[in-house]
């Protein structure tokens, strides 16, 4: 089943010719995949047979140019994919991951402390809270509009009666700018999380080092602690691949545990640093999936930043 099959627009009928064109692209160009979903006038409905009711996902109505540059006012395919992984992991559903080398239970969040960075709509966090996580903290850039949308999504969907087991983890929203570790939130939550979610946050190469710092700061010291990083190739492989540079990760005390590529139809292939010239429509179909762990040098790095 296609990755985008679980979502639909909810809201007033559009009268904008541009919107009609955008909604028809999949018919005109059947190989073209939409990788960003929704707008301020239309919320999204996320439907899965494993929740008792659909999730209603609001999108930020951003009027400040700096806020719009964050692109948090869309739901991106990376969030859809990680939400699907979290669901499969928690419920033991059949799902081939990492070219069949990992069981779906690899993404089980049951009983775990979870944090999402650059959450946007918080879809993976909502799924984690409804499917057995111990505690979930959702963060994004500390803009009132961005955080307001996160609060709206948590209020609308963080309900035990949506969960298949009628359970709900505590779920809170906090502002956090990557790399800013001198805040009360950062001080109170250092090293507390078993899982860190990062979805479509790699399109700004100048922020990679700050994102490394935040992941390393919040991830706990357990050998089983992981950061799950999922990102689409729509902005170009060259912009995002530097995030996975071994030396850069090691300098933050992190290392790659698993990394592979997956398309919107569930086809997988090995991760490659360079695939040469990639067609724009084709690369939009693909995402990188990476699991980060602490490197053996993590204690030395922490000592340097303490």
Q: Using H for helix, E for strand and C for coil, what is the string for the chain?
A: CCHHHHEEEECCCCCCHHHHHHHHHHHHCCCCCCCEECECCEEEEECCCCCCCCEEECCCCCCCHHHHCCCCCCEEHHHHHHHHHHHHHHHCCCCCECCCCECHHHHCCCCCEEEEECCCCCHHHHHHHHCCCCEEEEEECCCHHHHHHHHHHHHHHCCHHHCCCCCCCCEEEEECCCCCCCCHHHHHHCCCECEEEEECCCCCHHHHHHHHHHHHHHECCCCCCEEEEEEECCCCHHHHHHHHCHHHHHHCCEEEEEEEEEECCCCEEECCCCCCCCCHHHHCCEEEEEEEEECCCHHHHHHHHC
Helical packing angle, 144-157 and 123-130, nearest 10°:
30
* Token pair 């993590």: residue: 298
Tell me, yes or no, if the pTM score tops 0.85.
yes
Q: Which two tokens stand for residue 40?
A: 């301020």
Question: How many distinct helices (H) and strands (E) make up the chain?
Answer: 11, 13
Q: Is 281 helix (H, G, I), strand (E, B) or coil?
A: helix
pLDDT at site 232: 93
Contacts of 5 by beta carbon, 8 Å cutoff, 6+ apart: none
Residue 133 per-residue DSSP state: -
3-state helix, strand, coil in the chain (%, to 5): 35, 25, 40
pLDDT at site 298: 58
- CB atoms near residue 105 (< 10 Å): 15
Q: What gap in Å lies between CA 124 and CA 173, rounded to an integer? A: 14
- Residue 242 has phi, psi (to 5 degrees) of -60, -25
Q: Is 7 helix (H, G, I), strand (E, B) or coil?
A: strand
- Residue 255 has phi, psi (to 5 degrees) of -155, 155
pLDDT at site 61: 67
Q: How many angstroms from the chain centroid is the CA of residue 152? A: 18
Residues in the chain, pLDDT under 70: 1, 11-42, 61-74, 298-306
pLDDT at site 303: 44
- CB atoms near residue 295 (< 10 Å): 19
Strand partners, 36: 76
pLDDT at site 280: 87
| Angle, CA 219 vertex, CA 255 and CA 142 arms, to 5° | 115
């Amino acid at each position: 089943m296609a990755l985008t099959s679980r979502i639909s627009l909810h809201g007033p009928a559009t009268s904008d010719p541009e919107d009609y064109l955008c909604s028809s692209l999949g018919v005109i160009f059947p190989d073209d995949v939409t990788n960003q979903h929704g707008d301020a006038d239309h919320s999204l409905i996320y439907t899965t047979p494993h929740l008792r009711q659909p999730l209603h996902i609001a999108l930020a109505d951003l009027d400040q140019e700096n806020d719009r540059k964050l692109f948090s006012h869309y739901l991106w395919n990376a969030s859809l994919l990680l939400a699907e992984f979290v669901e499969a992991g928690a419920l033991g559903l059949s799902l081939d991951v990492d070219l069949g080398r990992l069981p779906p239970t690899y993404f089980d969040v049951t009983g775990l402390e979870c944090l999402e960075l650059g959450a946007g709509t918080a879809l993976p966090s909502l799924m984690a809270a409804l499917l057995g996580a111990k505690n979930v903290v959702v963060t994004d850039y500390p803009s009132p509009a961005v955080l307001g949308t996160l609060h709206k999504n948590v209020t609308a969907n963080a309900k035990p009666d949506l969960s298949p087991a009628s359970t709900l983890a505590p779920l809170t929203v906090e502002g956090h700018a990557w790399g800013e570790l001198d805040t009360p939130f950062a001080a109170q939550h250092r090293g507390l999380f078993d899982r860190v979610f990062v979805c479509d946050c790699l399109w700004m190469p100048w922020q990679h080092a700050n994102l490394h710092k935040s992941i390393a700061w919040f991830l706990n010291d357990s050998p089983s602690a992981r950061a799950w990083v999922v990102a689409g190739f729509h902005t170009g492989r060259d912009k995002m691949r530097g995030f996975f540079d071994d030396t850069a990760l090691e300098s933050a005390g992190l290392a790659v545990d698993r990394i592979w590529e997956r398309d919107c139809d569930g086809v997988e292939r090995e991760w490659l640093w360079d695939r040469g010239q990639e067609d724009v429509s084709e690369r939009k179909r693909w995402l990188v999936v990476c699991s980060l762990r602490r490197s053996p040098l993590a204690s030395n790095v922490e000592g340097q930043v303490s």
